[in-house]
């Protein structure tokens, strides 16, 4: 069915997924195209099977493919003929120059950025400045702006991959969906994980946090979430931990480290007061340090990103090394080791 150009929220709509949205989660698609719907209302529509993909029941985390159709039920209260919000094109100025300076790698298919901590990848309520709104600054002579193919939390820094063509976007979306991408994160944890290397296999589900807002919590009814980890260096009160997520759940690394009793420093959402270390910047100490995958060209490729300023200062204070290892040099933790399941409290 054709895509509805002017949505009529009082009637059922059937919208086709475009190439630029291939690989996006269903809830991110709604956030991008119908941001006024809101997460809570979307979840209710999904639970009652009113939103469908290709005629089948859908989930918020479902990854979309180009050409699929999304059934949108009547949405009274949103008004008629409301256009989806589009990011403002930013092509020059300090923000654009800073984004260009953060390019780690570029070829005809992809661009890798070192995303700063505190900058959102996409817009939302109260978010005026975000990477999606500045992608035109990264055209580098191409006819189209690059496309997002995965996400990082606002406060997580590090490698963010962009596709420069529709073909590359489809290729990379399939790679991320198929878990053919090796992602390595660095974190500073409050306390030292025990055992020092292992696998955290704790299912996660969305829940309301104690102070309001949404968070992920351990739940047998949640989606499976698996993280390999190893302690690289440690002091008595903190540890530098390398994290390798094998699944891609929302806030997975933050929730998992809190679940085993060693929250990431600066992560008050999951660690509360236990995530604070005296003398250490209160910012989230989580960094996407490396990414490895096969590019659309067929090249086996990896890229690393230097630490953000606040983590560099912490690493210096702790006496840790600053330069990331070449991806794949570190030993992968034994899969037979299981981290204990503990609630974060």
CA angle 17, 18, 23 (to 5 degrees): 75
153 is catalytic: yes
Q: 54 with 69: CB under 8 angstroms?
A: yes
| Residue 169 near residue 23 (C-beta atoms within 8 A) | yes
Longest dimension (CA), the chain: 61
For tokens 């409301």, the residue is 82
Distant-in-sequence contacts of 300-308, Cβ < 8 A, 24+ apart: 301/105, 302/182, 302/326, 302/327, 302/328, 303/104, 303/105, 303/112, 303/159, 303/327, 304/104, 304/159, 305/104, 305/114, 305/157, 305/158, 305/159, 306/114, 307/157, 307/186, 308/116, 308/117, 308/157
Q: Which of 21, 27, 109, 153 is catalytic?
A: 153
Locate all alpha helices (DSSP H) within the chain, ordered by sequence.
Answer: 26-33, 39-47, 94-101, 166-177, 252-259, 268-271, 309-318
Q: Which residues are catalytic?
A: 153
């Amino acid at each position: 069915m054709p895509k509805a150009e002017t949505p009529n929220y009082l009637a059922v709509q059937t919208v086709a997924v475009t190439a630029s949205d291939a690989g996006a989660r269903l809830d991110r698609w709604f956030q991008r195209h119908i941001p006024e719907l809101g997460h809570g209302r979307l979840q209710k529509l999904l639970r009652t099977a009113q939103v469908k993909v290709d005629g089948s029941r859908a989930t918020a985390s479902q990854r979309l493919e180009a050409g699929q159709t999304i059934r949108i039920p009547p949405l009274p209260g949103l008004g008629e003929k409301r256009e989806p919000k589009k990011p403002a094109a930013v092509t020059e100025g300090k923000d654009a120059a800073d984004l260009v300076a953060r390019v780690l790698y570029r070829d005809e298919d992809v661009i890798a950025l070192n995303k700063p901590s505190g900058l959102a990848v996409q817009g939302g309520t109260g978010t005026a400045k975000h990477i999606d709104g500045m992608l035109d600054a990264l055209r580098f002579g191409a006819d189209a702006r690059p496309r997002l193919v995965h996400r990082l939390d606002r406060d997580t820094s590090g490698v963010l991959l962009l596709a420069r063509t529709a073909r590359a976007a489809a290729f990379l979306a399939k790679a991320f969906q198929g878990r053919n991408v090796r992602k390595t994160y660095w974190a500073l944890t409050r306390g030292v994980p025990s055992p020092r290397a292992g696998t955290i296999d704790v299912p996660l589900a969305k829940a309301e946090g104690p102070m309001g807002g949404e968070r992920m919590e351990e739940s047998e009814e949640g989606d499976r979430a698996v993280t390999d980890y190893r302690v690289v260096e440690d002091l008595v009160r903190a540890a530098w931990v390398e994290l390798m997520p094998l699944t891609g759940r929302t806030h997975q690394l933050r929730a998992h480290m809190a679940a085993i009793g060693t929250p990431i420093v600066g992560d008050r959402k999951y660690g509360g007061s236990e995530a604070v270390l005296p003398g250490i910047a209160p910012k989230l100490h989580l960094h996407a340090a490396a990414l490895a995958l096969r590019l659309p060209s067929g090249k086996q490729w990896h890229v690393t990103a230097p630490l953000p300023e606040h983590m560099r200062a912490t690493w210096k204070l702790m006496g840790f090394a600053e330069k990331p290892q070449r991806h794949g040099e570190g030993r992968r933790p034994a899969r037979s080791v299981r981290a204990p399941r503990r609630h974060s409290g």
